[in-house]
Amino acid sequence: MKKSGNRSDAELPSHKARNVKRKKALVFSPFHPRSNILRYIHDLELFQAKWRMQKEELLKAKEQAESNAFKYCELYDLAPSGYFTLSPEGKIIDLNLSGSLLLGKERLALRNSNFGFFLTKESRPIFNHFLENIFKSKSKESCEVKLATNSISTLYVFLTAIAIQDGNYCLMSAVDISESKLIESLQEKSMQLEGLNNLMIGREKKMIELKKEINTLLRKLGKEEKYIIHE
């Protein structure tokens, strides 16, 4: 048995012995302030560990979001097609780099401009009808127009657009089809030339047949050889 000072617990008066036992019990009680402090420290350590894990997850999520945003911007700007956001009146709200290159101006200068201003006169009614149908039908619409540019060759673009749900603007793509239109035009001209060539060959054959008929008639009539038409 442990001693308190020079006397054992058994030798102490009853009320003092109870106080000593009470003090010993409080040291190991979960309600003792020291036990509370240890529990708080343990909880704090758990909280800090969780906070560090959450912080790492948030940093990874932020890096992933920034990477995705960069990829989206890169894909949006460097896409081969022009992308435009238009108002119901045809005003350019936003556009990508390919769109500005297609229209031949800086993006800042193109914002708030009307897309129809960059079309030829004969293409503007087509575009206005196209734009009207987009916001009326709320479905995807397409059309083919010509751009009024300073370049020598005519630029043809194929437009596809759809209005968003609230109808405040539409998203439009513009694909340069000038090369395919040029090939189509060359093929059409080639077919026309082939048709003319076939027509000329047909006429030449008819001329040969006609010469033969004339020569036959001349021989029957007994005309001199000088009147004979050479084939």
Kindly report, residue by residue over 38-54, the tens digit of the pLDDT: 777 777 777 777 777 77
Per-residue pLDDT at 172 exceeds 60 = yes
pLDDT in tens, 95-105: 998 899 888 88
Q: What is the pLDDT, as a whole number, of residue 57?
A: 75
Per-residue pLDDT at 7 exceeds 80 = no
Per-residue pLDDT at 164 exceeds 70 = yes
DSSP labels, 23-39 = HHHHHT-TTSHHHHHHH
CA distance 224 to 195: 40
More confident residue, 213 or 103: 103
Average pLDDT over residues 173-189: 79
Lowest mean pLDDT among 95-99, 154-158, 188-192: 188-192
Q: Long-range contacts made by residues 91-99, C-beta under 8 angstroms, separation at least 24?
A: 91/115, 93/169, 99/174
- For residue 149, which phi and psi values (nearest 5 degrees)? -115, 170
Sheet of strand 141-147, all strands in order from the earlier edge strand to the far edge? 92-95, 82-86, 170-176, 155-163, 141-147
Give yes or no for a contact between 84 and 174, defined as CB atoms under 8 angstroms apart: yes
With left for phi above 0 and alpha for psi between -120 and 50, is residue 139 left, alpha or beta?
beta
Residue type, 174: A
Q: What is the pLDDT, as a whole number, of residue 1?
A: 45
Q: How confident is the model at residue 202 (pLDDT cuts 50, 70, 90)?
A: confident
Per-residue pLDDT at 220 exceeds 90 = no
Q: What is the pLDDT, as a whole number, of residue 127?
A: 96
Per-residue pLDDT at 204 exceeds 60 = yes
Q: What is the pLDDT, as a whole number, of residue 160?
A: 95
Per-residue pLDDT at 9 exceeds 50 = no
Q: In terms of pTM, does the model score above 0.85?
A: no
Coil, helix or strand for 60? helix
Give yes or no for a contact between 158 and 180, defined as CB atoms under 8 angstroms apart: no
CA distance 151 to 93: 25
More confident residue, 159 or 196: 159
Name the most confidently modeled range: 8-17, 157-166, 177-186.
157-166
Task: Measure CA 3 to chain center.
Answer: 86
Q: What is the largest CA-CA distance in the chain?
A: 174
Q: What is the pLDDT, as a whole number, of residue 208?
A: 81
**Mean of the per-residue pLDDT values of the chain:** 76
Lowest mean pLDDT among 86-95, 119-128, 215-224: 215-224
More confident residue, 172 or 152: 172
Average pLDDT over residues 116-136: 93
CA distance 163 to 136: 9
